[in-house]
Amino acid sequence: MSALLPFSTAAFVMACLGTIPSFGQAGLTPSPDGTAYSVACFCGDTIPRPLWLPTGYVVSNPNWYGEGNMRAFVYADKSVISVLCGANATLSLPKKKKKGFFDRKVVLPGCCCQLMYTHVPAARVADFNRAFDEASKP
């Protein structure tokens, strides 16, 4: 016995899977010192925002849940940028701080998107701050 999804549910799922990771990226021009990633959360009246990822991430892990998605960009030095787009979830900064490493969380104005970086060494924190400051501009 097979379980069939209603057409509207199947169409919605396919539309989400096909557009969320790539929506808006065609118009982005990568900066010479970073990689363009489009933060596209489909909640409210939001528009995709460019996030210029600092160079050097080695892994990009997408995770999907019922109300949205989260993507983690992991760097060789164990720095992590997390992008959460969705409802009923929140990113939490680490409770324990390591000396010489920095963490930051930003909630983008007017949407359901949160950005967070963790475990960023002092030598690279300016690059990560610049990326988050640019993404936070209205």
Please state the three-class secondary structure of 52-80 as a single string.
EEECCEEEEEEEEECCEEEEEEEECCCCE
* pLDDT tens for each residue of 10-66: 333 333 333 333 333 333 343 445 676 767 666 665 667 778 889 888 888 888 888
Q: Nearest 5°: CA angle at 19, between 42 and 80?
A: 75
pTM of the entire predicted model: 0.71
Specify the range with the lowest mean pLDDT, choosing from 9-13, 48-52, 107-111, 117-121: 9-13
Residues of the domain holding 79: 34-136
Look at residue 99 and tell me if it is in a domain: yes
Burial class (CB in 10 A: 0-12, 13-18, 19+), 44: exposed
In whole angstroms, what is the distance from residue 124 CA to residue 105 CA? 16
Tally the domains of the chain: 1
As a whole number of angstroms, the longest Cα–Cα distance in the chain is: 58
Look at residue 23 and tell me if it is in a domain: no
Look at residue 16 and tell me if it is in a domain: no
